A and B are shown apart, each in its own frame.
Chain A
Amino acid sequence: MISHPVGIVGYGACVPKYRIKADEIARVWGEEPERIKKGLGILEKSVPDVDEDAATLAVEAARNALAFAGIDPASIGAVYVGSESHPYAVKPTATIVAEAIGATPNLTAADLEFACKAGTAAIQICMGMAASGMIRYGLAIGSDTSQGRPGDALEYTASAGAAAFIIGRDKAEFVAEIEETFSFTTDTPDFWRKQHAEFPSHGGRFTGTPAYFRHIMGATQGLFEKTNTRANDYDYFVFHQPNGKFPLEAAKKMGIDPEKVKPGLFTPVIGNTYSGASPIGLCGVLDIAKPGQRILVTSFGSGAGSDAFSIRVAEGIVEKRQAYRGWRLADYIANKEYVDYGVYAKHRRKLKSL
């Protein structure tokens, strides 16, 4: 039970402008493009510009969330940035974000890491702090510019993007209330990267059943039990989306209508944005959902764990959506420019590793 109502008072996303098509990556590695696109459920993925990183994407998403919320940045009491591609090994991304949005100096801040679920861990921390009254607003961000080893299957999906949420405790300000959260965590060696390694290693097929599906389902079904709800009680489901297929398979395994998953499934057109993935899915659903509708979001981070959230859209979303003049997820998705593999390698600074 959450002791005091907590909810989202503003949200925002950011996706870089550049895209590379799965066909182009397949061409370079002599793979059959149709087999890849069908197998991974991916058409294209986002590519960051040479001057973008997890910090710059986090700042842009945070500025959008602030504009949406319409609050004074100085009233933010905590900033947490979840990423597996923080620009520094030592020196926080969260301080860069806090300074760039004008939230400094009276706040607490830290970086989080838990593969692709560090952004939802940030939401949970802000929920606890807001519910307890430690803070009035907390800023939770998931942001990544992820990398796959050239030629590895991950290269088709590993992309870049961020989403930011301002979590508050005043019901009158909510665009959506977070009714409950439930997590499912084990030590599972499905994916890892050591301190000085440029690219991650992964367990191949092992990343499916014991990792993704077990944790996504464990957290989702645990949340159903905790809240005494069923799939039919929700209008939308957003699952972590390492490719375009896993979220739909997870839905099928749990008897969830895939049509409730598709509106929050963006990996086919922007790739797997890692810590940004399920948070960006939630932004996309919040852009279209009606007051009173319920959204179930479940993240997944390798290593491994899942955080599930039951979210109810509030009346306040209508007015804030109308007032918001900034970039929406749909704007970022539409504003794209394709690059070929050569430009992509330059953008991702892969040259030295080829």
Chain B
Amino acid sequence: MPSENLAITWRRIPERYRLAGSYCENCKTSYFPNRKLCPKCRRKGRLASKQFSGRGRIYSFTEVSAGPAGFELETPYLLAIVELEEGPRLTAQIVGATEKDAKIGDEVEMVFRRIMEDSPEGLIHYGYKFRLAKRCAPK
């Protein structure tokens, strides 16, 4: 069973693969995910596409010990709210670390990983996750 409509998956590839978001040239605000309308400026907003750096900090995190179907092999895993250095926050997995390794405020960097597979014969969904940045990588 596909997890979502193929057209939606396809449209979200730039945002999921490389953190392509948007930026309002009027109020200088960055948005992720993509926006078609600036909620601050409304009709005065001028939205352009923006490539995020992939660097950020852990704003908040939790260890998920009972993951949803399809995540059995990865459980337990860290799920975090990451604040990108450009401002927006997003939810993502933190890989290669346990609850003991990570703390709020730690620098993280985007990595490209498999998110899920629809079925053994189905599409593989790839996208962003994060890991602790080089300088605070666990021993």
Contact = CB atoms under 8 A, between A and B. Distances in A.
Interface string A65-101: 0000000000000000000000110000000100111
A346 interface: yes
Interface in A251-283: none
Interface in B63-122: 73-74, 95-96, 111-115
B112 A59 contact: yes
Given A51-B95, A52-B113, A337-B96, 4 more contacts: A49-B96, A51-B115, A59-B112, A102-B18
Contacts of A347: 73
Contact of B96 (A17, A53, A100, A331): A17
Interface residue range, chain A: 20 to 34
Contact of B18 (A100, A337, A346, A349): A100
Contacts of B20: 102
Interface string A193-226: 0000000000000000000000000000000000
B114 A102 contact: no
A96 B96 contact: no
B95 A49 contact: yes
Contacts of B73: 50, 346-347, 349
A50 B74 contact: yes
22 contacts: A17-B96, A49-B95, A50-B74, A51-B74, A51-B113, A51-B129, A52-B113, A52-B114, A53-B114, A53-B124, A55-B126, A56-B113, A59-B17, A60-B112, A88-B124, A96-B17, A96-B126, A99-B13, A99-B17, A99-B18, A100-B17, A335-B137
A49 B94 CA distance: 12
B14 interface: yes
Contacts of B126: 55-56, 96, 100
Interface centre among A49, A55, A346 (most CB of B within 10 A): A49
Interface string B1-32: 00000000000011001101000000000000
A327 B137 CA distance: 11
A60 B17 contact: no
A29 B129 CA distance: 35
B62 interface: no
B60 interface: no
Contacts of B13: 99
B67 to A, nearest CB: 12
A60 B18 contact: no
A85 B39 CA distance: 45
Contact of A87 (B18, B74, B115, B124): B124
A99 B96 contact: no
A339 B48 CA distance: 45
Contacts of A53: 114, 124
A59 B73 CA distance: 22
Nearest to B138: A337
Given A17-B96, A331-B134, A335-B137, A101 B18 contact: yes
B114 A51 contact: yes
Contact of B14 (A56, A96, A99, A349): A99
A56 B114 contact: yes
B74 A102 contact: no
Contacts of A87: 124
Contacts of A327: 134
B118 to A, nearest CB: 13
A102 B50 CA distance: 12
A196 to B, nearest CB: 12
Contacts of A17: 96
B3 to A, nearest CB: 15
Interface string A53-64: 101100110010
A334 B62 CA distance: 27
A347 B105 CA distance: 29
